[in-house]
Chain A
Amino acid sequence: MKNFHKIIISVFFFFVIAFIPIISLITMPRERLAFSENENRYLARFPLLSFDRVVDASFMKGFEDWANDRVFGRESWIKLKHASERTIGKLEIGGTYTADNRIMQAWNEYNEASVNRNLAAMNAFAKRHGDVPVYLMIAPSSIEIYRDSLPRSVPVGSQKDFIKYCYDELTELTSVDVLYLMEEFSDGYIYYRTDHHWTSEGAYIAYTALGGAMNFTPLGLNSFDVENASNSFRGTLFSRTLDEKITPDIIKFYTLYDGDPDVLLKVNNGMDVSEHDSLYFREYLEVKDKYSAFLGTQVPVVNIYTDIPGSSKRLLIFKDSYAHSLVPFLTKNFNEITMVDLRFINTRYSDVINVDKYDAVLFIYNAITFSEDTNLIKLGRE
């Protein structure tokens, strides 16, 4: 048949354009809000429909965003794109750079106005709760520490300058510097190679820095038993580049030699509260998102009660996901820790927590999330 190839491509084309929308509709997540871990943002919601919104075309814009975000196999399509970019030798792929067996999240500049708004809101918050000491730690991300492994011409912003800029703006908070320590220990395994978080070692360094600033005594490394919980961790940055050549990461749990104290976790995911009796959610070690083995996935509020005889210290933490590998260390010094993720809080913060009952408040963010954050301003109003 002379024309058989014409039939094949026609059938293929029509099948693809008809099948993808149908399967997308069928498999679409039912909840109105869906969070993309890889992109660290909510997927677009279905837009409101009204006459005005049609006339000014904002409905159409919203509809297009919604349709884009709900395509069947969204993550796989994005992976395919990044794989093709890698093939043609692009250095920056999906907002990452790769060098020396390490994938790093790209970062170049920040929006000064929005960062200033956040800092002002934090100052106002700290002033409002004047009796409670408030601390801020901005952790550098791996690209700051391993910048020299990249070609000199790659545009990388200085997180050192950014962190200093932020710290200088603080009037009511105490800053806790961790950057110089991370640089000092840069030969160690302090950042994951395939994920944008710090490792437990990196978090331990931050823990010691916090001890000095917040006046508690951090436990020495020799009190911990290190368990290699998984050595096949491929994190969020791997998901972007799909570069199989990068060695998978090791997830390590630091538990006390004498056994960890008893803990009770109350995890509030915004809908209901579940209870757990361990800091480690081992079921996540079996799936892709292994970092969630530390205190579970990102949720609005987690309360952690630790049985430390003869002590009663309470710590409130506003955080991004960097806190999750750090908090297991802090539980050794604080009886009650409440972690609040402002990205998921849409009411007034005072509806969710009573700040004044805590002995200290800690903001812990990595530099990139902090520079892009749009939620800290929520603290500006009571």
Chain B
Amino acid sequence: MVFSSIPFLFMFLPAFLAIYYILPKCLKNLFILIASLFFYAWGEPKYIIIMLVSIMIDYIVGIVMWKYDNNDKVRKIALLVSVIVNLFLLGLFKYGIFITDNLNALGIFGIDLNYPIFKIGSFEMPVRALPPIGMSFFTFQSMSYTIDLYKRNIEVQKNPISFAAFVTLFPQLVAGPIVRYSDIAKELDYRKHTLSMTYDGIMRFITGLGKKVLIANNIGLLWSQVKLMDTSELSVLTAWLGIIAFTFQIYFDFSGYSDMAIGLGKMLGFNFPKNFDYPYMSKDISEFWRRWHMTLGAWFKSYVYFPLGGSRKGMRRTVFNLAVVWTLTGIWHGASWNFIVWGCFYGVIIIAEKLFLGRFLNKLPVFIRSGYVMLLVTLGWVLFDTADLTTAFRYMGVMFGIGGNGAFFDNPAHYALLNFSVILIICFIACTDIWKRIYNRLYPKMSAVLNYGGIVYQSAVFVLVISYLVDAGFNPFLYFNF
């Protein structure tokens, strides 16, 4: 179930909240667990088993570490078990097909390997091209618990229900933010439900809905039209408009979903970490990645980059560490060469910025730096969302006048401008913090007007969102399969 859908908004959510608020505190986590399992099973009835296995292992690993608090060897083995099981499941169910295909293409075994399939008796779970929903998120969340526990950063969670509720917690289950156990350890067992939290939650949730349904879906239509065309039919302007549309679509889609998650979390009494901070306003690529999908970056920093030594072991080692982190970041996004190249692309830029580019960039005026970031980010999205690398490079070629239909401007570009210019302008404005800054400046002087104006505005957005959901022609969800 996705948040931006009629069944979630008008069935799951009201039923869940009504029961959740009525239940006594001691039953709330159990109910979150049951409801979250239902929520997950709704979209993934079979592969829920993988999530349950991952939860069970990590819970037991936690208990073992706690029981053998003085035995470093046991604790180490326990941690290894958790990391290996989680990475094995992820490797198998997310990359199984990709790895098999590539091995077969290399032909080193002489025969073609079959795709892996999971069988218990007559029960079959074939590995699919797309991983089980949210798998990349919940394995990372679950691992954050065992690793932090090993590092003694957190207390053990003895209550299996609380632990399972943490992993399955439906607002953040399928698409993040990647909530680490330490982020909500306290709130899992003690949390308050206040009017202010609920209010913030509702406002944030509606903001997310609006970003996703009104902006991302609308501008996404343009990209979906361009994507259907063969690269040889594209004009320069069509290619640019298409990928600019996707640049906006993925930002509003993903950050909208994070806003919905954070908002729902607040309605339930949880404070999830922020996931986006106006990334398209960044002045270099390193900054972009501190402001885009922040919880993923933080995860890799804490559990890969720092353990490898971070930037404290000399320049060569830093470059190596960055290369590892960025290759992994690419792979995390999906089982295809596009994502690997995409990750390496950012790795190279970030290393270059660290080595020399950063110093040079610092001297340039802001608008040039902004242009530099957006040009690279946009090119990155071509790698990210085209069918294969050949298409990606052909597409980039068209953007710079190589290949395509040879024209700069043609009918599809004209039509795209006629049909989407207002939405494009809205996108440009909405991905900057200009509205927030005006709001913050005016708030001390006219708080009442802004408070009531704010709720009128959000109510209107909500009503409009419902109208778009009822006529649900086009409602894809981009980060579902990561």
**Interface residue A271 (Cβ < 8 Å from any Cβ of B):** no
Residues of B within 8 A of A71 (CB): 6, 10, 470
**B411-A13 in contact (CB<8A):** no
Instruction: Tell me the bound Cα distance from A55 to B125 in angstroms.
Output: 11
Q: Which residue of A lies closest to B199 (CB)?
A: A6
Kindly report which residue of chain A lies nearest to residue B420, judged by CB atoms. Answer: A90
Residue A155 is within 8 A (CB to CB) of chain B in the complex: yes
Main secondary structure of the interface of A (DSSP, over half): helix
Q: How large is the interface on B (under 10, 10 to 19, 20 to 34, 35 or more residues)?
A: 35 or more
**Is the beta-carbon distance between A89 and B422 smaller than 8 angstroms?**
yes
In the assembled complex, the CB of A18 is this many whole angstroms from the nearest CB of chain B, namely 5
B202, B413, B467 pick with most chain A CB within 10 angstroms: B467
Given A9-B458, A78-B470, A84-B467, check contact A17 B9 (CB 8 Å): yes
Number of A-B contacts (CB under 8 A): 126
CA distance A7 to B199 in the complex (A): 8
Q: Which residues of B contact A78 (CB under 8 A)?
A: 467, 470-471
Contacts of A60 on B, CB cut-off 8 Å? 1, 42-43, 45
In the complex, chain A residues 60-96 whose Cβ is within 8 Å of any chain B Cβ: 60, 63-64, 67-68, 71, 74, 77-78, 80-82, 84, 88-92, 94
Report A122-155 residues with CB < 8 Å from chain B CB: 151-155
Chain B stretch 200-253: residues in CB contact (< 8 A) with chain A:
202-203, 206
Rounded to whole angstroms, the CA-CA distance of A259 and B203 in the bound complex is: 67
Contact partners of A33 in chain B: CB under 8 A: none
Q: Are B455 and A8 in contact (CB under 8 A)?
A: yes
**Among the listed A3, A8, A74, A84, which residue makes an inter-chain contact with B470, where contact means beta carbons less than 8 Å apart?**
A74
- Do B415 and A77 touch (CB < 8 A)? no
The chain B residue sitting closest to A89, CB to CB, is: B422
Decide if B419 is an interface residue (CB 8 Å cutoff).
yes
Q: Is B116 an interface residue (CB 8 A)?
A: no
Per the bound structure, the CA–CA distance linking A91 and B420 in Å amounts to: 9
- In the complex, whether B421 has a CB less than 8 A from a CB of chain A is yes
A226 CB within 8 Å of chain B:
no
Residue B463 at the chain A interface, CB threshold 8 Å:
yes
Q: Looking at the complex, which one of A5, A8, A88 makes contact with B422 (CB distance below 8 Å)? A: A88
Q: Which of B11-19, B103-111, B150-158, B354-362 contacts A (4 or more CB under 8 A)?
A: B11-19
Q: Which of A17, A78, A94 has the most CB of B within 10 A?
A: A17
Give the number of chain A interface residues (Cβ < 8 Å): 44
Assembled-state Cα–Cα distance A94/B471 (Å): 9
Q: Is the CB of B440 closer than 8 A to any CB of chain A?
A: no
Interface residue? B414 (CB, 8 A): yes
B451: A residues at CB distance < 8 A: 5
- Other-chain contact of A155, B17, B415, B454 (Cβ < 8 Å): B415
**How far in angstroms is the closest Cβ of chain A from B428?**
14
**Which residues of chain A (83-119) have a CB below 8 Å from chain B?**
84, 88-92, 94
- B462: CB under 8 A from chain A? yes
Interface contact B467-A3, CB-CB below 8 Å: no
B386 at the interface (CB under 8 A from A): no
Tell me the smallest distance from the CB of A284 to a CB of chain B, in Å: 26
Query: Shortest Cβ distance from A61 into chain B, in angstroms?
Result: 10
B305-320 interface with A by 8 A CB criterion: none
Contact of B195 among A7, A13, A64, A80 (CB under 8 A): A7
Contact present for B455 and A54 (CB under 8 Å): no
Decide if B5 touches A64 in the complex (CB within 8 Å): yes
Given contacts A5-B452, A57-B43, A67 and B470 within 8 Å (CB-CB): no
Q: For residue A18, which residue of chain B has the nearest CB? A: B14
Chain B residues near A54: list those with CB within 8 A: 45
In the assembled complex, 30 residue pairs joining A and B whose CB atoms fall closer than 8 Å, in A order, are A6-B195, A9-B455, A10-B195, A12-B459, A17-B10, A17-B14, A21-B11, A21-B14, A56-B45, A56-B46, A57-B43, A64-B1, A64-B5, A64-B6, A67-B10, A68-B5, A68-B6, A68-B470, A68-B472, A71-B6, A71-B10, A77-B470, A81-B467, A81-B468, A88-B422, A89-B421, A90-B419, A90-B420, A90-B423, A153-B414
Chain A interfacial positions (CB closer than 8 Å to B): 3, 5-10, 12-14, 16-18, 20-21, 24, 54-57, 60, 63-64, 67-68, 71, 74, 77-78, 80-82, 84, 88-92, 94, 151-155
Going nearest first, the 8 A-B pairs with the smallest beta carbon separation are A153-B414, A6-B199, A153-B411, A77-B470, A153-B415, A80-B467, A81-B467, A9-B455
* Interface contacts beyond A16-B466, A57-B44: sample of 10 additional A-B pairs, CB < 8 Å, sorted by A: A8-B455, A17-B9, A21-B10, A60-B43, A64-B5, A71-B10, A81-B464, A81-B471, A88-B422, A88-B426
